[in-house]
Structure 1
Amino acid sequence: MSNNPSSKVELTSRNYLAEAKMRNHFAVIDEPLDKGGDDNGPTPVEYLLTAIGGCVAITLRMYAERKGWDLGKITVNVNQKQELTPNGIKKSLIEEISFEKEVTEEQRAKLLEIAAKCPVAKMVKEATEIDSKITS
């Protein structure tokens, strides 16, 4: 088995309902009713936001454990922001991180630096190359 993460997504014949398989796990992807879907699951963008939030939280927990810091529960809220600019719509992400336990200003600064090292967020920030091809 390869160590490279992968996901297989199949779009069903039901509007925009897709089924995804990752290792031994399954997920459903859909669009909301007002976008032509049946709202059977999160949208692709919602999964991306979730992936970033999950990765940031896990990255912070791993770092805190190595440092012996008890952060308690880590919460990461990731939201997409859209603004109309003279060049069209600009999209960005807002990431809000909070900890159940108190952290010092020094810890806060270091944790913010570590959060930026989350591999999923780095993939998005660095515009990871995607090599697309059609196979039979």
Structure 2
Amino acid sequence: MSDQNAASANRDVVVRSLDNFASVATIGGEHSVVIDEPREFAGDGAAPNPFGLILSALGGCIAGTLRGVARQHDFDYADASVRLSLRVNRPTKGPLDPGERELRISRVMADVTITGSLTEEQQGLLRHGVETCPVGNTLRRSLNLVETVTFKG
């Protein structure tokens, strides 16, 4: 197995459908996350929707990258919070709306607040960390999505 395949193997995600629009994602064979649509979109509202999970992944990556940058440069800060919101390219009435197939995130806004006594240099390092977290890098650049569909009888 190549280094790239070995590194990604423990991050593979398997998603299985549940009732209605809900599903459960098993991440790396260790963690489970339920995904659902809100009630106004015909879901049960039992869990975050897929777009919410994308924002959560970006926020978690930014927060983790900030801690990593601070540790690499031997300083600390008191707290960091990341508030994320998104805009979509078109209105939708949910998964039953035929226009939903054209829906995509058109813009993500991340408002990062870092609390602590920091020098200008440390602030610059943290700002660079926000701008270069791996999930952010992925979302900013084009992504090659390869899909395979298999039907079983």
Residues 1:109 and 1:81: Cα distance change in structure 2 (over 3 Å): farther
| Residue 64 (structure 1) aligns with | 70
Distance 1:82 1:107 in 2: 34
Stretches of structure 2 that go unaligned for 5 or more consecutive residues are 91-103
| Residue 7 (structure 2) aligns with | 3
Q: Write out the 4+ residue segments of structure 1 that deviate beyond 6 Å after TM superposition.
A: none
| Residue 116 (structure 2) aligns with | 101
Deviations 1:88-119 (A, max 9, x none): x9821111111231323333233112212111
Residues 1:105 and 1:123: Cα distance change in structure 2 (over 3 Å): same
Number of corresponding residues:
131
SS in structure 1 of the partner of residue 7 of structure 2: coil
SS in structure 2 of the partner of residue 3 of structure 1: helix
1:18 aligns with 2:33: no
Amino acid at match of 2:112: I
Aligned with residue 52 of structure 1, among 58, 62, 68: 58
Residues 1:125 and 1:73: Cα distance change in structure 2 (over 3 Å): same
Distance 1:90 1:58 in 2: 23
Offset, 1:127: 2.2
Offset, 1:133: 0.8
Q: TM-score, normalised by structure 2?
A: 0.77
| Residue 39 (structure 1) aligns with | 45
Greater strand proportion? 1
Across the aligned residues of Structure 1 and Structure 2, the Cα RMSD in angstroms comes to 2.1
* Residues 126-135 or 36-45, more deviating: 126-135
The answer to whether the Cα contact below 8 Å between 2:86 and 2:105 also exists between their aligned partners in 1 is no
Q: TM-score, normalised by structure 1?
A: 0.86
SS in structure 1 of the partner of residue 48 of structure 2: coil
Distance 1:60 1:114 in 2: 6
| Residue 121 (structure 1) aligns with | 136
